[in-house]
Amino acid sequence: MRLTKNTNFQIAKGLLNDVFAKTEPLDYNKWVRFIDDRPNFFTWNENTESGKKTLQNIDEISENFRERVLASLSKGGCFAEYDSKKGNYNISISINKINNWITIQFARTPRLEDLRIFVEMANHLDALLLVDGTKVVNEETLKDIV
């Protein structure tokens, strides 16, 4: 399996055969603990410079969008691997509590060590790391990733 920065990764309890798929809920508290237990790798959105500025200016955000913005700043999303040259994070992770999955996005080609931590996250949540919602990535399939 060849991966690029545009490859779609999700963590869910089952396959996501279409955009309307809804699986068994993930344990949100276990996900938060997983992120909190790895502060050298993950940074919560609300702890980034951008997140702090957004919180300071929350009253300037339209009420129609404020709830969504606050959800992303309340342990709803996190980042990994800050790129100081580009001024952004290379990995973005967010949980979708409505559809019961976690989305992982890369600003660069994913590396094997990245995928290992997300396989670990999926295992911790009794879930699957998925590519395009239908291909399972686990310890065995990591061997076939280029």
Please report whether residue 34 resides in a domain.
Answer: yes
Residues 34-85 pLDDT 10s: 999 999 999 999 898 888 888 787 778 887 777 777 777 779 899 999 999 9
Q: Which three-class secondary structure state does DSSP give residue 141? A: helix
Please report whether residue 26 resides in a domain.
Answer: yes
Q: pLDDT tier at 92 (50, 70, 90 boundaries)?
A: very high
Distance, in Å, from the CA atom of 112 to the CA atom of 118, rounded to the nearest integer, reads 10
Please report whether residue 90 resides in a domain.
Answer: yes
Please report whether residue 20 resides in a domain.
Answer: yes
Number of domains comprising the chain: 1
More confident residue, 127 or 50: 127
Burial 36-49 (b: 16+ CB within 10 A, else e): eeeeeebbbbbebe
Please report whether residue 128 resides in a domain.
Answer: yes
pLDDT above 60 for 146: no
Domain hosting 36: range is: 9-43+78-144
Please report whether residue 2 resides in a domain.
Answer: no
> Beta partners for 103?
10, 94
Distance, in Å, from the CA atom of 136 to the CA atom of 57, rounded to the nearest integer, reads 40
Query: What mean pLDDT is predicted for residues 112-126?
Result: 97
**Inter-helix orientation angle 28-36/112-124, to 10°:** 140
